[in-house]
Structure 1
């Protein structure tokens, strides 16, 4: 017992303990946590940019069914994931799960992979947002033509400020942005349905001949990648109200909203363009084809509103992603893998403020490299998003195996055969199939042969580096090794 604990116990009427220096604090409810997950996905970006890819490059008119199938796979995965969460009493996300199930070496390898994944996708999103703002200011508003990386730097400062404070401040902002996006998406869906689409409403998307046509595997791959951010439910464990209830509600709510919502919106896009033309239109111009239907069914003002909300959606994704990356760095600091000061929580805000500053610094370093290398920011975004998507698939697979091993070895009393074997086994089949599809169609995820080679080296190297560092810690700093994953 620490001296502070003794003082508190000896003080008459004391009802509140001093805050722990390595414990994050927050009071997020189910809706705030849910909106935080959805914000990372960027629902409007998904509808405008990613859903048409599933139509044009996937199984065509049957694409809506891919999102239902992906929701089923993630729902089965969540069954074991959430049951195991009761035995993972720290907010390490995939890092903690893999450590508990597969050991410290693979656990630290998974954490390194997660850091690389979220870092790369943030760099890509900042590049995309810098381009969007630059084009909007110079083209639409007639303002100065400012380089994309300057706008990205300004965004990073704003996001960094939010990351410094308590998570509830970010949650309020994300809630507002998510509501605006949801209203616009619902308005678009309703307008298309009420007006009967381009050639009358059709249910042909749900015929088996269309569901299993074309590149059904590609559609499933894009659909599963639309559920990014799922692990946020575990990463924010210390910052939610009643985690044993809030986390499952938010997780299943996320799966249901994304699965059903994206399936409906994909069907609506097909109806808006017309089933006879939808596949060709979305394959030749994914975003442009959807934007054209927005103008047709909602008018030019709605198109302008989409441009604005795409930027706010991107900002929300950046804010959510920054919070996730900061918490991974924070947990590595708490565990002594990184310098322990990084794992300090702010005394007043209960936020991972030092880890948030470190995350901002790493992003800033990425800007410097971007300015020197002078890449095309639009291609850079596509490549880095693909890196993140592939890394996420690896993390899902590792976590699924970790759940199976832990459940079978520990046999928790509250876990049935479904949780121990059936659910993780089914999830492993679904996610493993998706992983094979991702690798065999990697050029769709990561444009460019050089980029593919670099991606494989970086992702595999991060896992190997994490495992090697864990072995090194076991030899030179055994106390730090024992704390990996806080086990």
Structure 2
């Protein structure tokens, strides 16, 4: 075992495949968008996707600018540390671990249920959803400790196929509109001021979760300063346009006034039912298979993200040091991978034993909660970008270091506030349900625990505290670690070159 990730394994295409696969385009289109229509009752899901894409493009300006000066697999955690201080950074780290684990584990519910509903009727089996989920869990566990570029190739094949299928489905739906014709009603900006828009926006944000992980792979890329920027913008543009187009296409095919009822009745089968009369059973079966592989691709991508967060925190001593070890043979963060695999297994066993609904209670509730956590992190990171460049302007323009991240912070804070206010609508529960605050409260607990742990480290382990946010420098001798911390980001950057 070593304390360094494998270098120079990933180029722009590989990073794009990782992050867009995590966003899982076909999963979002067939699962997230339709479930969002059904549970929130909001018809403005398409305009919500496009609005979020614009906000995240603004967010990416400062995020990418900071990536040129700080290279660390910790991403959000590291940026918040450098911009808002170590206690805030550790708080962000624990929020990130909760959020990304929620995204990854929640996807097992969707994978198991969709796979069971597709395979069982066709072969006469009665296998439960959790058995299929455990099969996926086994494969993810194996791939998670292998070379990262192998994972990238697996995701490349799956992602290319699912995007192609989504575009074909969109073309079919738009060429066979309902009686309303090619209505633009669901794209109207007026939806942004309607009741329930907070639920629609966080549903949309959940669909983008994963694009920001470009920075998580920065230590394993070739020419990270260019690779990360290009991959981030490509990921935002690709997913934003596809989500907006696909969700609008569904509303055109059903009619904007009937999209909510259709999504409620058909669920994740809506898009397949809409194209079946025009493409036939064979093509739709292929689409179903790609929907399943899309879910698997997202599982694998988020597993890799969680493993690298755990690695970054273990390397710096925030988590147990054994978490900061990688495999000598593959360069993968093996310890973090194994830990995430164990947690996922425990949750799957718990949900299976409780007899919970895998789509509503695991797939939708848990992944949406993960999306809420990433929204919190992006809001904090935008503020951290402003704080960092206020002290270290480097040669970045005012647009990159102040205007764009400042606007992103304000817009994301508004979305976060509206989301929390309408979280009951998002979950499909009554406003007085305890679930409305229980899920968001998990992040408050994680943040407070992170602040408390940072204070504890400052008092009991000052050398570890000084190493927080230093990335690869944190594994150098203690004296160098402290010197690098006092010298600031520029010195740390020089040590990495």
RMSD (CA atoms) = 2.4
- Which of 27, 32, 48 aligns to 1:66? It is 48
CA drift of 1:133 comes to 2.6
Give TM-score, length-normalised by structure 2.
0.87
CA drift of 1:83 comes to 0.7
Match for residue 18 of structure 2? 36
Match for residue 312 of structure 1? 293
1:83 aligns with 2:81: no
State the alpha-carbon separation in 1 of the partners of residues 442 and 12 from structure 2.
Answer: 36
1:464 aligns with 2:445: no
1:115 aligns with 2:115: no
Within 5 Å, give how 1:24-423 maps onto structure 2: 24-52=6-34, 57=40, 60=43, 63-143=45-125, 145-195=126-176, 199-206=180-187, 215-282=196-263, 285-378=266-359, 379-412=361-394, 414-423=395-404
State the alpha-carbon separation in 2 of the partners of residues 444 and 213 from structure 1.
Answer: 13
CA drift of 1:114 comes to 0.8
CA drift of 1:479 comes to 1.4
CA drift of 1:321 comes to 0.8
State the alpha-carbon separation in 2 of the partners of residues 210 and 390 from structure 1.
Answer: 21
Q: Deviations over 1:294-342 (max 9, x none)?
A: 2133222233223212211111011001101101111111101222232
CA drift of 1:265 comes to 1.5
Counterpart contact for 2:318–2:464, Cα < 8 Å: yes
- Alpha carbons of structure 1 residues 26 and 322: separation in structure 2 relative to 1, 3 Å: farther
- Alpha carbons of structure 1 residues 141 and 423: separation in structure 2 relative to 1, 3 Å: same
CA drift of 1:262 comes to 1.5
Q: Deviations over 1:394-443 (max 9, x none)?
A: 1111111111111112222x222212321112101211111012101112
Give TM-score, length-normalised by structure 1.
0.89
Q: Deviations over 1:20-68 (max 9, x none)?
A: 74233342121221111111111111111222456564663x5433322
State the alpha-carbon separation in 1 of the partners of residues 373 and 81 from structure 2.
Answer: 17
State the alpha-carbon separation in 2 of the partners of residues 342 and 213 from structure 1.
Answer: 46
Gaps of at least 5 residues in structure 2 are: 471-484, 486-497
Counterpart contact for 2:47–2:191, Cα < 8 Å: no
State the alpha-carbon separation in 2 of the partners of residues 275 and 38 from structure 1.
Answer: 28
- Alpha carbons of structure 1 residues 196 and 452: separation in structure 2 relative to 1, 3 Å: closer
CA drift of 1:375 comes to 2.5
Q: Deviations over 1:166-212 (max 9, x none)?
A: 11111111111111101211111222334456553344555556676
Match for residue 13 of structure 1? none
Deviates more, 1:246-255 or 1:210-219: 210-219
Match for residue 481 of structure 2? none
1:438 aligns with 2:435: no
Match for residue 475 of structure 1? 459
CA drift of 1:276 comes to 4.8
State the alpha-carbon separation in 1 of the partners of residues 4 and 84 from structure 2.
Answer: 25
